[in-house]
Amino acid sequence: MRCDNSLAVSGTTGCVYADVRAQLVLPLSQYRAAAATYAFAPTYLIDHWGADDSPLRRQADSGIANSNRRATCETPLDPFIPFDDSVVVDDSCDEYPFTATQQGGTTGGFCADIVALQEDDGLWYFYEARADKPVDFNEPCVRGHVPLGENEAAGGKVGSLPQSERVIDNEAYTVAIT
């Protein structure tokens, strides 16, 4: 068991079983396109970050996390180009692995650019976002086209993981899309 007060909510001390890996749970019904985008990487990409055998590791330094976001979404050589509202309303760049992980921060040009859309049958489908950049499933990351509100809501859930599950810097955790 590991106990600390550095991640405590309201100044309380908390404990976790160190042998039990934390899990970030993101329901599709709540986080929609963001959650679908996050499901793409562990399911289809070669490194399958976030799966049980390839967990993410928390990056606690917010400066590094901000730098990671810029590298993935704002790289000058291959910047994220949002769709107009006819494709994704209020489109934003959502990255996976998350920028607040040791695995985050890959230059966006190396990422799979996708858009996850829920079709009339209720299922989520993945589409290549750019004809000039086909997805070959060997990419180490994803740049998803996600409505800004869904991106921010999922980002809030990711940001609360250290407190809710007491995940310390460089500690491993998995991601479950339900």
pLDDT (tens digit per residue) in 24-47:
999 999 999 999 999 999 999 999
Number of domains the chain is built from: 1
Range of the domain at 37: 2-177
Name the strand (E) or helix (H) holding 157.
helix 148-164
Q: What is the pTM of this model?
A: 0.90
pLDDT (tens digit per residue) in 56-70:
999 999 999 999 999
The whole-angstrom separation of Cα 30 and Cα 79 is 28
Contact 154, 35 (CB under 8 A): yes
Phi, psi values for residue 35, rounded to 5° = -60, -40
Using only C-alpha atoms, the chain has a radius of gyration, in whole angstroms, of 16
- Classify the phi-psi angles of 63: left when phi > 0, otherwise alpha if psi is within -120 to 50, otherwise beta: alpha
